[in-house]
Structure 1
Amino acid sequence: MEHGRRQRTPRPSRIPRTPREKYGEELRLRRTAAELTQEALGEQVVCSPTLISHYEAGRRLPSPDDARRIDRALGTDGFFARWLEDLETKYADHFAAVAELEQQACLIQQFALSIVPGLLQTDDYARAIFRSYRPNHRPEELDRAVVIRTERARILEGLSKPVMWTLLDEAVLRRQVGGPRTMADQLHKIADMAEAGRLRLHVLPFGSGAHALMESLLTLMDFEDSAPIAYVEGLFTGRLMDEPALVSASQTAYALALSDALSQQESLALVRAAAEEHEHGQQ
């Protein structure tokens, strides 16, 4: 080695970018070339700067309308709208962005009103859910849906991230989905995860009466490098919110409902008791 010259340390190879990340990077480059801030582009697209940052990070994809507005703002002649058509997803349109965000969240706080959250479902429980609203289903379709849901849940296989809080209405424990055995196994799985420290579990008992989340399920997500989001869902539809006022209101509603819930130990005892009742056919 020549005197005075330092030997370079090889750089670690970068993890390959996903198609969404490539889309977002190109958007950032085109925006920068157009000398627009995220705020300025957001004004032209009619969305928040936070949403533009999620697009550029590859966490979310714009809607077709937003992609067309991006093309108009940047003068890209339909480039982003056409590319968007190639970024297909295996999830329903209203849920695709949520599934992507789950992979990057450092904290997920979820509330379930009537069914077990998808990330916690057993295969048999998920299959029963899918079967309930697909009257002309084929076995292979159900198998594929269950596999997709199982793949989502792999984010919980790590020991630390994301930190998971799960708040359940007591109705989730009482409605028998898939039969007594399936329901008992499902509840035992949730309790096992809580006892293992993989999630924080609380139940809102019927006795607590009205509570702040009784009209909708809710998922809150925090990230290490961007603003938090909130997601609510109804029949065949969902809304992902990043507006600070709505996210803050959702966080407050979650905190209020959590304050009416049982402690973790009391919740665990109730979940185990409900599992035993399903096992023995007591309703």
Structure 2
Amino acid sequence: MPSRRVITGRSQEPRRRFAEELRLLRTEKGDSLRQLEVVLGWNASTFGKMEGGQSLGSPEIVEALDQHYGTTPMLLWELAVADPSQFKEQYRRYMLLEAEAIGLWHYGVSRPPGMLHTTGYAREALAAGGLKGEELEQQVEARIGRRKVLEGVDAPPFRMILSEAVLRNSLRDPQEWREQLECLSEAAERPKVTLHVLPFGTGLHSLDSTDMMFLRLVDGRTVAYTENDVRGELVEETSRVERLHRTYDAVRDLALNPAESRTFILRMLEEVPCEPST
């Protein structure tokens, strides 16, 4: 098995590094894109898009490439998303799709979306789930690394609806909580980010206990990921995704508009002490 080149700065420009590594591996082996099509069974244009940075492929393609080149299993997760040990098995398929989504919609019941967690928020949230020590720090790093999805000129449009409970369920450390609220307020000012607050008193709805994310993919499909306290599910069936999307739209109609929502968060910030208590 060939030794892998040492790659540093794992969270920086993952798509570019992934594409470069694929091109280099193919060149070293002397394959053409057409030869990959014949040997592995996927269309040559698919491999071309992966090497050009337009697509991350799929877990099945990446596993086949790993076997073909004799590289470390799940090369994609080392380069394009994160070290595979950083994300639990049930999230890996979702993380792949999130990394190459061209549009995202989120609804949060009690917590902000993971890709907008501050370090302090991520650490307290993950520690509350029982993580500690080195595993905790790895998971914090992985979660913070997801911010890259929303950064840069090619960042996808992102709409989020936050239940008021998200903004009321504060961290133990007031300063870290202030940083999290400031992070949300600043995110709402980005041109590709739209934030809605769903205030208390709007009545019951079908997402009362379900966090949800929709991902628009490069092939035109939309998939949904739903999660509650005990399980998460990636939904790819078109009819189910459409039903969930109608539910999401109904909840959005109950929420404050973006300007009202940002004002709401700024009022919340005014309630948080600016300096540590003595």
Confirm or deny a common fold (TM above 0.5): yes
> Which of these two proteins has the greater Rg computed from alpha carbons?
1
What is the CA-CA distance between 1:214 and the residue it aligns to? 1.2
SS in structure 2 of the partner of residue 94 of structure 1: helix
Structure 1 unaligned spans of 5+: 1-13, 33-55, 68-79
State the Cα deviation string for residues 91-130 of structure 1 (Å, max 9, x = none). 1122111111111111000111011111000011101111
Residues 68-89 of structure 1: CA deviation (Å, up to 9, x unaligned): xxxxxxxxxxxx9xx9x93372
**Letter aligned with residue 228 of structure 1:** T
Q: Would you say the 8 A contact 1:124–1:178 is kept in 2?
A: no
Any residues of structure 2 matched to 1:67-82 within 5 Å, and which?
A: none
User: How does the TM-score come out when normalised to structure 1?
Assistant: 0.69
> How far did residue 26 of structure 1 move?
7.2
Cα pair 1:61 1:97 within 8 Å, conserved: no
Match of 1:49 in 2: none
- Quick check: 2:175–2:274 contact (8 Å CA) kept in 1? no
Cα distance in 1 for residues equivalent to 2:269 and 2:164:
12
Per-residue CA shift, 1:54-78, capped at 9, x if unaligned? xx9733459xxxx9xxxxxxxxxxx
Normalised by the length of structure 2, the TM-score is 0.70
**RMSD, matched Cα:** 3.2
What's 2:129 paired with? 133
Question: Matched residue pairs, number?
Answer: 221
Aligned equivalent of 2:58 = 59
Q: Which whole-Å CA distance do the structure 1 matches of 2:205 and 2:270 have between them?
A: 27
Cα deviation digits, residues 195-234 of structure 1 (max 9, x gap): 2324100010002121232120100010232411000113
1:181 corresponds in structure 2 to 175
Counterpart AA for 2:210: S
Cα shift at 1:272: 1.2
- Structure 2's unaligned 5+ residue stretches are 1-18, 24-32, 44-54, 78-83
* Structure 1 residues 29 and 113: alpha-carbon distance in aligned structure 2, compared to 1, 3 A threshold: same
- Deviations 1:216-259 (CA, angstroms, capped at 9, x unpaired): 01000102324110001133531111100111011111101000
Q: Does the 8 A contact of 1:183 with 1:275 survive in 2?
A: no
Instruction: Determine helix, strand or coil for the equivalent of 1:101.
Output: helix
Aligned structure 1 segments of 4 or more residues deviating by more than 6 angstroms = 25-28
Q: 1:118 to 1:97 in 2, by over 3 A?
A: same
Q: Is 1:268 aligned to residue 267 of structure 2?
A: no
1:17 matched to which residue of 2?
22
Deviations 1:13-71 (A, max 9, x none): x64439xxx9xx77994488xxxxxxxxxxxxxxxxxxxxxxx9733459xxxx9xxxx
Contact 2:161 2:196 in 1 (8 A): yes
Matched, 1:209 2:203: yes
Q: 1:127 to 1:57 in 2, by over 3 A?
A: closer
Describe the shift of the 1:177–1:224 C-alpha distance in structure 2 as closer, same or farther (beyond 3 A). Answer: same
Aligned residue type for 1:107: G
Distance (whole Å) between structure 2 residues aligned to residue 123 and residue 91 of structure 1? 17
* Whole-Å separation in 1 of the counterparts to 2:242 and 2:175: 40
Q: 172-181 vs 106-115, which deviates more?
A: 172-181
Q: Specify whether residues 196 and 228 from structure 1 end up closer, same or farther in structure 2 by C-alpha distance, changes over 3 A only.
A: closer
